């Protein structure tokens, strides 16, 4: 599976977890969220979190509810994001539980209690828990994202977390680990090569110009964390440099608006933002605010978007069209040949976004069959995930010491392509483990 990252390590009788994520995507995938943990939560000493996406943190309150009382470690931005994201997902999970006729996975009190166990760490500030020494490296994926280097019993294992598509507009690039015996590497885009970063801005510019000419609406389903902020940065550049016509641009995602405030909190911190972003901010460029931009926080403000005549651009959650305000806009504009939908992130199997992207003639939204007549565009360069060459580069930095690589968090085709490349080009043993598999290192 791509989602639901959760790894248990046991050494010297001490058990720790790397991530504790929610399964997302298809109904089959989501049913795993209601299964008991395959270990005793009360026996876990600590959890180390690579980053704040829900597929890496979403079951932490459930872990607390099931008896976990250890400590949770991550970078500062990851903790701040996590609180907002876990509270936001609570009501969505409650609806899922009702659909599955199961008790809720957790409630808001579980989130509050979970956050009380959470500790902030800086990159390269080592943490010792029992026989483990853990160090955070910058994964370059989203603000505060990490790869984790775990040392125990004279062995070193690296957990990639999600690796970033470097260079990114805001955050610092991926840090490379020089030496490890074992590595777990994500493989979301394990068989693909992204467009060049500069090409994506040109494509965005062209698409907005086309929408203005046709008098349509551009819908952008966007993940609230990182993707929306990166998009805002690039829209800011296009607007301020006069590369696109003045057009109303709506950020119709309360969560994205709240998460953007965390970016603003850390925006002058050189541990997280790249030099270019810090220079722009210190130079007075409000990168999350420009002419034509409107943030619609309330439901009433969101509904008012309907009264604004096209052309217009609407950026709304959720990123895979599996919930959120984007569904209302898709219900309204998917059938309009003058309009377009732009996918700037990964669309999991079974998601509505994947259906649309794969060419469905019609889709069901809120029980209504909606014909898909608008233009469909995907820009892979906006992915926050590393592509195959970047994944190989990350693995090759440890080539001299690696005994084995476990290829994880990818669909079968992508994981298989990356594993084969690792064997062929790096001459390192690569395995694609299955859910629940155990390995002795």
pLDDT greater than 90 at residue 24? no
Task: Summarize pLDDT for 85-98 with one digit per residue, the tens.
Answer: 999 989 878 887 88
- Per-residue pLDDT at 193: 92
pLDDT greater than 80 at residue 30? no
Task: Summarize pLDDT for 359-407 with one digit per residue, the tens.
Answer: 999 999 999 999 999 999 998 778 889 999 999 999 999 999 999 999 9
Task: Summarize pLDDT for 153-196 with one digit per residue, the tens.
Answer: 999 999 999 999 988 889 999 999 999 999 999 999 999 998 87
pLDDT greater than 70 at residue 65? yes
Token pair for 166: 């470097």
In the chain, the percentage of residues whose pLDDT exceeds 70 is 98
- Per-residue pLDDT at 377: 96
Q: What integer best gives the mean pLDDT of the chain?
A: 94
d(C-alpha 102, C-alpha 270), whole Å: 45
Closest CA to 84 of 55, 104, 112: 112
What is the sign of the dihedral through the CA atoms of 202, 206, 209 and 215? negative
Token pair for 187: 């493989």
Strand partners, 157: 150, 182
Q: Sketch out the chain's domains with CATH numbers.
A: 7-192+384-431 (3.60.15.10), 197-382 (3.40.50.10890)
pTM listed for this prediction: 0.90
């Amino acid at each position: 599976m791509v989602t639901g990252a959760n790894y248990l390590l046991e050494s010297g009788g001490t058990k720790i977890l790397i991530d504790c994520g929610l399964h997302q995507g298809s109904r089959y995938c989501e049913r795993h969220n209601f299964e008991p943990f395959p270990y005793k939560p009360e026996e876990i000493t600590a959890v180390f979190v690579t980053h704040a996406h829900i597929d890496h943190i979403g079951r932490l309150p459930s872990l607390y509810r099931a008896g976990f009382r250890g400590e949770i470690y991550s970078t500062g931005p990851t903790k701040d994001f996590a609180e907002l994201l876990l509270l936001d997902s609570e009501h969505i999970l409650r609806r899922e539980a009702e659909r599955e006729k199961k008790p809720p996975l957790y409630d808001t009190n579980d989130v509050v209690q979970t956050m009380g166990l959470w500790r902030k760490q800086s990159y390269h500030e080592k943490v010792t828990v029992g026989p483990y020494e853990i160090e955070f490296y910058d994964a370059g994926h989203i603000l505060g994202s990490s790869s984790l280097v775990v040392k125990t019993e004279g062995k070193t294992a690296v957990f990639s977390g999600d690796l970033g598509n470097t260079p990114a507009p805001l955050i610092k690039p991926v840090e490379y680990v020089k030496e490890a015996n074992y590595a777990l590497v994500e493989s979301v885009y394990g068989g693909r090569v992204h467009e060049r970063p500069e090409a994506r801005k040109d494509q965005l510019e062209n698409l907005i110009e086309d929408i203005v000419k046709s008098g349509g609406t551009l819908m952008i389903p966007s993940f609230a964390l990182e993707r929306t902020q990166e998009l805002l940065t690039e829209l800011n550049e296009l607007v301020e440099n006069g590369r696109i016509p003045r057009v109303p641009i709506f950020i119709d995602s309360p969560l994205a608006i709240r998460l953007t405030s965390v970016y603003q909190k850390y925006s002058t911190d050189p541990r997280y933002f790249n030099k270019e972003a810090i220079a722009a901010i210190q130079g007075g460029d409000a990168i999350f605010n420009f002419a034509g931009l409107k943030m619609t926080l309330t439901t009433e403000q969101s509904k008012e978007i309907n009264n604004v005549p096209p052309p217009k651009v609407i950026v709304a959650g959720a990123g895979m069209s599996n919930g959120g305000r984007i569904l209302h806009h898709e219900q309204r504009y998917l059938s309009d040949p003058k309009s377009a939908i732009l996918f700037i992130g990964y669309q999991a199997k079974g998601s509505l976004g994947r259906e649309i992207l794969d060419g469905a003639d019609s889709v069901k939204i809120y029980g209504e069959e909606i014909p898909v007549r608008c233009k469909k565009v995907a820009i892979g360069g906006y992915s926050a995930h590393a592509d195959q060459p970047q994944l190989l580069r990350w693995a090759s930095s440890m080539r001299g010491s690696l005994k084995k690589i476990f290829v994880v968090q990818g669909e079968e085709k992508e994981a298989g392509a990356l594993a084969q490349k690792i064997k062929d080009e790096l001459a390192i043993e690569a395995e694609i483990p299955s859910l629940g598999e155990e390995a002795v290192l």
